[in-house]
Amino acid sequence: MKGVLGDELPPAIRAGVVQHRKIDAYTDAHPHVGDFRRVIAAEHGHYARVIADIFIDHFLASRFDEFAGESLESFLSRTYARLDPHEATLPGMLRVVYPRMRDQQWLLSYRTLEGIETALRGISRRFSRQPKLAPATHLLVDARAELERRFEIFFPDVMEYARTLW
């Protein structure tokens, strides 16, 4: 969700969006995330930030139970059960995107290289210049050890920060 949040969202969902935005801002500003992005930037320059966000999602989805203490499937089931009753009142494009995200299991697909490639292809289409982001997926093979090592350095800090928001 982008833009100003109005009163159209139920309070709990609005609070979740605000929390998510704070975590994104914290992650973007974390110095070790910059190190993570530099691994990608050599090939993808300006788009390293976008690719890094998706790669971080990949590592989190792949190891979700380790970090969250529950399976990604269980978490998503619980989350969708909370969102579904409000589907018709979701604002803007979220009303269109949410059912596809849920039904096509986008977040579960982030565990796989194919899912990441599909996500990057979709994001590419949203940019006016339509950069070729999907080929960056090779870095999840070729530079996996380095990227995962860097993820392991900063992600505990992100989790600690997120705990302060509850």
Cβ atoms of residues 120 and 113 within 8 Å: no
Q: Domain ranges in the chain? A: 11-160
Q: Is the pTM of this model over 0.85?
A: yes
Q: What pLDDT is stored for residue 12 in this prediction?
A: 79
Q: In this structure, what are the phi and psi dihedrals at residue 70, rounded to the nearest 5 degrees?
A: -150, 165
CA distance 2 to 92: 9
Q: Reply yes or no on whether the pLDDT at 100 is more than 90.
A: yes
C-beta neighbour count of 85 within 10 angstroms: 9
Long-range contacts (CB closer than 8 Å, 24 or more residues apart) made by 63-72: 67/155, 67/159, 72/107, 72/108, 72/111
Query: 44 or 89: which carries more pLDDT confidence?
Result: 44
Q: What pLDDT is stored for residue 8 in this prediction?
A: 72
Query: 94 or 59: which carries more pLDDT confidence?
Result: 59
Give the least confident one: 10-14, 75-79, 135-139, 140-144: 10-14
Q: What pLDDT is stored for residue 1 in this prediction?
A: 65
